[in-house]
Amino acid sequence: MSRKDKVFDKHLSPGTAFEFNQEVADVFDDMVSRSVPFYDEIHRILLDIVDRACPDLRRVYDLGCSTGTTISILSRHLAASGIQPGFVGVDNSESMLVKCREKISSTGVRDCTLHCRNIEDTDIHDADLVVMNYTLQFLDPDKRPQVLKTIHDGLRKDGVFMLSEKIRVDEAHVQELLTELYYDFKRRNGYSELEISQKREALENVLRPITPEQQLAALRDAGFKKVDMIFRWYNFASYIGIR
């Protein structure tokens, strides 16, 4: 059971950067549920896409699998229809993977291989589905094009890539408004002004969002011909790419 997120409720040293360490892993499920809008609905959308677009699902990659929530939800949903694909989870935080192993064991995931490594060092083979939720945004922008190309090339024909990210817009006034609306969301979920401001500072130069137009162009450049945004809430968006 994830503890309540209190990572940023105390004064931290200036310049403290956000990292997926043990302290974050211990509270991550609470953190993401209170910090990412419509987190549950994104998983519902993923299940709907799988039901419609992935009839012969054999291999699934979750890049940035964190505590294993997506793998567990997918496995439980597919098992109800007698489908048991092989899962591959990748994360570069061993603290996260410890939590992931515990979760997939407790939820009965049968076939799952976990790798502690950087996503940019990961090969994709014969994938029917690749999921990357709120992970690409943390990678070096210069490395993202090759990561997307590796995903595209590793998918089978008609394979599906689902990507969710924080986004930004070019119009400064709109960007400022969307940011404040997002902070209102966090306030409603119980975060204090200190927590909001300190996490914002910790994520600066760690989480680097791009615009939806840039993201769609990057997907097309990677080889995806069938791409679109399928969900947006203020400064968060989800995309689909079909090989």
Q: How does pLDDT run along the chain (243 residues), one tens digit per residue? A: 568 989 888 877 777 889 999 999 999 999 999 999 999 999 999 999 999 999 889 999 999 999 999 999 999 999 999 999 999 999 999 999 999 999 999 999 989 999 999 999 999 999 999 999 999 999 999 999 999 999 999 999 999 999 999 999 999 999 999 999 999 999 999 999 999 999 999 998 899 999 999 999 999 999 999 999 999 999 999 999 999
H helices within the chain, ranges in order? 22-35, 39-53, 69-79, 94-106, 144-154, 172-188, 193-203, 212-221
**Global pTM value:** 0.94
Contact 42, 164 (CB under 8 A): yes
The whole-number pLDDT of residue 1 equals 57
Domains and CATH numbers, the chain: 1-243 (3.40.50.150)
**What is the length of the chain?**
243
Query: Which among 44, 52, 93, 95 has a CA at the least distance from the CA of 70?
Result: 44
DSSP three-state, residue 128? strand
The whole-number pLDDT of residue 7 equals 84
Distance CA 204, CA 221 (A): 27
Distance CA 35, CA 186 (A): 6
Distance CA 169, CA 234 (A): 10
